[in-house]
Every structure is written in C-alpha cells, then in structure tokens.
Amino acid sequence: MKKYKKNKNFNKNQNSFYFEDFLETNKKDKIFKKNNTFQDRIYLLFFLFFSLIFIFSIRIIHVSLNSVELSNQENFSYKYFLQRRDIVDRNGSLISRNIKSFHAAINPNLVKNKENLLIKLKLNFPELPIKMIEKKLKSNKYFYLKKRINQKEKEILWSFGEKGIIFEPFQSRIYTHANLFSHIIGQVDYDNYGISGIEKYFDKELKNKELSNLPFQLTLDTNIQHLVSKELNEALTTFEATGGAALLMDIENGEILSLVSLPDFDINLRADVRDRKYINKITKGVYELGSIFKTFTVAIGLESGLITPETIIKNIPKSIKCSKYSISDIKEFPKDLTVEDILIRSSNIGTVLIAKKIGEKKYKKFIDDTKLLQIPDIQLEEVGKPINFNWNKCKLETVSYGHGITTTPLQATSIYASLANGGKLIKPTLVKEENIKNNIRLVSEKTSKKINKILRKVVTKDEGTAKLANVDGYYVGGKTGTSQNYKNKSENLNTFISIFPSQNPKYTLLVMLENPQVAKNLVYDYKGLKIKAFRNEAGWNSAFVAGKIIKKIGPILAIKNKDFTHQYVVEKTN
C-alpha cells in the first residue's frame, strides 16, 4: 500500500491557511472592535461636549438673570438705606426725610430716532435747551437731560418708550413744610452733605449709620410754628413791613418752640439765596433793639439795691446833654416818676438817671455776664457777631436805653427769659436732648419777681407802651423797643419782648418788624374802644402782633402745661 508522504508544504499551507484564516478573521474582528471603540469615543466626546455646552448655557442664563437680581438688590440697598436720618419736631412730626428720586440721563447710542426724541422733549419740556441737547446727542456721549426730576416728569419721559432715556436713582432730601423751617433746618447738597442750618451743624450725627432708624428730634413745635408764621406774614402785609421775625422760648430750659424769620424761602427748591433780606434775623441779624434795654437797667438797679420799684426819681429834665449829643424823650412826662413808671412809660431820661446811679462798672459786668456782645451760642452756623463796643464817653447813658449797642434778637430774648425765670441764666437750644441746666444766676429770685410785676404793668396800665398786647387770660407782660436806622431815619425797627403768664412765667416771645408803616386802615379794639393807628412805634404794631400770636398759640401751650392751665382756670374763676 502506497503510503502517502506527509506533504510538509501542504501541511504548512494548511496550517498557514487555517492560521491565516484565523488571523484574517481575528483581524476583521479587531478592526470591527477598533471601529466600535472609536465610535464610542466619538459619541462620548460628543456627549461630553454637548453636556458642557448645555451646562455653560444654563450657567450663562442663570448668571445673567442672577446679575440683574443682584443689581436690583444693590440698587435696593442703595436706594433704601437711609443716608441721612429723619428730622422731627418735639411731637414727632416729620420735618425732613430722604426719599428715592431720579436723575434723567440720555445714552445717545441707544436712541433709535434722535429727531423724534427732540420733538417730544420740545413739546413736553419747552424749558429745556433743545439746541444744546441736539449737540450732545450728536456727540454720542452719555449726558444728563435733567437732574432731580419729579414723579410727573419721570412719568412723561417714561411714556416716550425710549430706551436711550436712563433713570438714575439717588436719595433726595425733602422738607415736608417747604418754607416753614427754612431758616432753621437748612439744606443738603446733591451728595447728601449738609450745607446750612441744622443739616450742616449736625451733619455727622445725621449721617450716623448706627442711628439711621432713630429720628433726630428738635425742640420746635410745627403747629405753633405754623400759627406764628401765619400771623407774622399777615403783619407784614398789614404794616407794609419789609421783614419780620418771631421767637418763642421756654424760659426754664431754653428750648425754642418756634423761630420764624421773614421773608423765608422754599428749601426744597435748592435755590442759591444770597439776598441779605433772607438771613435768619433771629440768630444772624445784629440790631440796636432800643428800649428793651431799659428793663436791663432797672434790673441791675434793683439787684444792686440802689432802687426799688417805688423809688421816685425827682426833677427829671426834658433833655440831658451828653458830650455834644442831647438825649430827650419823644413824649412829655411828669417831672417826678417812680422807677416802675419810668419803665412803664419808657422814659429815656429817667432810665439814664437810673444808669448813672448804677455806674459803668456794674453795668459792664451785667453785659459781660449775659454775653450780649459775643457771638450767640446756638446749634446753627448762621449767627451774627455784635458790632465792636467800647465803653467810652456817653456809652453808659446811651446803652441804658438801648442805643449805641447791638446784639441779636436771640440773645436779647434769652436775657428776658433769664430775668423772668427767677434769675437763672439759660442757654437757648434747638435740640431736645441737648438741654443743659445752668445754675449761674443773673439776678436774685426777688429781683426777678419785681421785674415780672413791672413788665405786666407795661401791658395793663393805660400809660404803658404795650397795651395792645394784653390778651385776656394769658397775663402778658413785656417791653417795647423802637429804634431807627441811622442811614435812613424814616426806617424803624420795632420790637416787643413778652413773658407770659407773668405771675409764674413759662414762655418768652419776641416779635420784631423791620421798617413797618402806620396801618391807616387798621382799627384797634382797646378795652371796648375803637382806635385808629396814628403812630409808628412798637406798641402800635409789634406788641399788637404779639398779642394776636399769644391768643392763637396760648391754648396749645396751656394744654401741654398743667401749671399754665391751672393759672388760667383760677384767674377765670376769680
């Protein structure tokens, strides 16, 4: 039998074949697997890339929306975090507050139709400088159209539907009573810094963030301030006066309940007021106040024990020569007058004779003690400095009746308060918590009581100069003062400083009129008699106005003061 030889090549080929076949199949499988892996990677990369895009898209949207929210929160914080505290009166009534306001600006790059915008502005805001706005629009630079717009203006601009109009929020200071407290509260600038009045004097306290929710309280009474202002404004019309002022003060603690100076102005308008007629006449005005100084002369004489109210000054001449000047009275008085009659009738010469008994040394000490010739101490920067004064020849004589010496109405009123309250010097104040009791005594309680009785007679006696200030039930006492403008003798400054109720004084009220005229059409009602005005003196105008004011504010003060109410009831009953 023929043996078949092993064909190596065959076997080899077979092996190769099978091997190759195996390898080919394996190769294809590997290629297939390789392709699948590649595709998987592509899908994975695509998925990761798509996921990243998706995540970033969501994040961008989220951040965009959130940034608007954060921006609004920042604006909210800016708008509503008070940069200045509220200012309120003694009863908590609002006087000044920060509110959200807007500036109107324009971004020219966002304005679609500039000509159309200009037409709308011209029709709705004819006061705006259209030509200048047109130039600014062409420059394509951001600019302010109008600062501090009100709500009505904002609504009109908003109605334009113009994206280029931007409303910039800021905090604006508003004053709820406009003119009423213009000489006291003052103003702030655009950056909320105080530039005058209380706003400037207490700028740091008003911007204290830790106290932002605590109102800053003043001693002023809005109701009383309104009544005083109304009567004083009417007086300016009635007597054709060029200006006026009034001051109401608590004589025990120096708290100022009302301070009015006319003419006034609307502090919301932020106008640049430079005319001197708008100064605070109470604190910054420096004047010769005339015969109100006679009360000081009598008080010094009583305190020194040189005179009593009943002391008779005999042989009073019609005039006294002092250096090259002659001092006389405007009326003819009896030759012999008691000390109280000299004050009641307001005799210049009688007062000079009392001053000579006192002497310059004692009078000078009184002036120094009262700080009459110093800058007034009050929480305002708008204060006046009395004219330099030298005690040379004839000064004692002229000072005794209020000529040749100047001071502010605030200081003069403070001295009347001190004389009436038992003799204790007081410091006037506009801020409730700043009340500081002063134990320094100007005169004794005994002298104070004597002065109060005489001042009451100035109002009640037929010979008194302030008869028209007598208001039933309020027991007004006081002293008139009439002085002339040396530059123009026809111009008067008429002043009346009162205390009430005179038995136990609680308040002092000053009323001052600048250059008043005789009210020819005014008929006074004096003790049932109808009298027409014929003189231009303080007793005929300032005292009359003070009486009207006290009649209006008296019930408010009586309600808040039990002692005052008790006195009123007792006197009415008797």
- How many angstroms separate the CA atoms of 25 and 12, rounded? 19
The architecture CATH gives domain 225-266+280-573: 3-Layer(aba) Sandwich (3.40)
The token pair that represents 444 in the structure block: 């004794």
Q: What is the largest CA-CA distance in the chain?
A: 192
SS3 content of the chain, % helix, strand, coil (to 5): 45, 20, 35
Alpha carbons 312 and 340: distance in angstroms, whole number: 9
pLDDT of residue 532: 87
Pick 256 or 24 by higher pLDDT.
256
Residue 249 φ/ψ, nearest 5 degrees: -135, 145
Lowest mean pLDDT among 403-412, 419-428, 437-446, 490-499: 437-446
**For residues 324 and 215, what is the distance between their CA atoms, to the nearest angstrom?**
59
Residue 117 has a pLDDT of: 94
Say if residue 143 is exposed, middle or buried (CB neighbours under 10 Å; 0-12, 13-18, 19+).
Answer: middle
Q: Are 403 and 443 in contact (CB under 8 A)?
A: no
User: What is the rounded average pLDDT of the residues 6-27?
Assistant: 41
pLDDT at 559: 67
- Residue 436 binned pLDDT confidence (cut-offs 50, 70, 90): low
Residues above pLDDT 90, as percent of the chain: 69
- Look at residues 492, 469, 410, 409 and name the one whose alpha carbon lies nearest to residue 242: 492
pLDDT value of position 325: 83
How does the average pLDDT of the chain come out, rounded? 86
* Structure tokens, 238: 């009635």
Q: Is the peptide bond before 505 cis (omega within 30 degrees of 0)?
A: no
> Tell me, what's the pLDDT at 62?
62
The mean-pLDDT minimum among 55-64, 99-108, 373-382, 453-462 falls in: 55-64
- The least confident of 318-332, 372-386, 450-464, 508-522 is 318-332
For residue 463, give the nearest of 450, 471, 454, 474 by alpha carbon. Answer: 454
Q: What local confidence, expressed as pLDDT, does residue 3 receive?
A: 43
What's the pLDDT tens digit per position in 311-323?
Answer: 999 999 999 998 8
Q: How many CB atoms lie within 10 A of CB 424?
A: 19
Q: Lowest mean pLDDT: which of 12-16, 216-220, 290-294?
A: 12-16
pLDDT given for residue 78 in this prediction: 42
**227 CB-side CA count, 13 A:** 19
- Residue 287: pLDDT band (50, 70, 90) is very high
* Domain range summary for the chain, segments of one domain joined by +: 11-80, 87-217, 225-266+280-573
Rg of the chain's alpha carbons, rounded to an integer?
42
Q: What is the average pLDDT across 423-427? A: 94
Reduced to 3 states (helix: H, G, I; strand: E, B; else coil), residue 222 is: helix
pLDDT of residue 423: 96
pLDDT digits (tens, 9 = 90+) for 157-204: 999 999 999 999 988 899 999 999 999 999 998 888 999 999 999 999
Report the C-alpha gap between 429 and 380 in whole angstroms.
Answer: 10
Q: Residue 2's pLDDT is what? A: 43
Q: What is the Cα–Cα distance from 430 to 256, expressed in whole angstroms?
A: 6
Q: What is the C-alpha separation between 230 and 344, in angstroms, rounded?
A: 30
- Alpha-carbon span 351 to 398, nearest angstrom: 10
Name the band, by pLDDT with cuts 50, 70 and 90, for residue 241.
very high
pLDDT top residue among 468 and 75: 468
Q: What is the DSSP string of 249-314?
A: EETTT-BEEEEEEES---GGG------GGGS-TTTT--B--GGGHHHHHHHHHHHTTS--TT-EE-
CATH number of 87-217: 3.90.1310.10
Residue with tokens 């630079």: 141
Q: What is the pLDDT of residue 439?
A: 73
pLDDT digits (tens, 9 = 90+) for 532-549: 888 899 999 999 999 999
Read off the pLDDT of residues 29-78 as tens digits, 9 standing for 90 and up: 555 555 666 666 677 777 777 777 777 777 677 655 554 444 444 444 44
pLDDT tens across 383-412, in order? 999 999 899 889 999 999 999 999 999 999
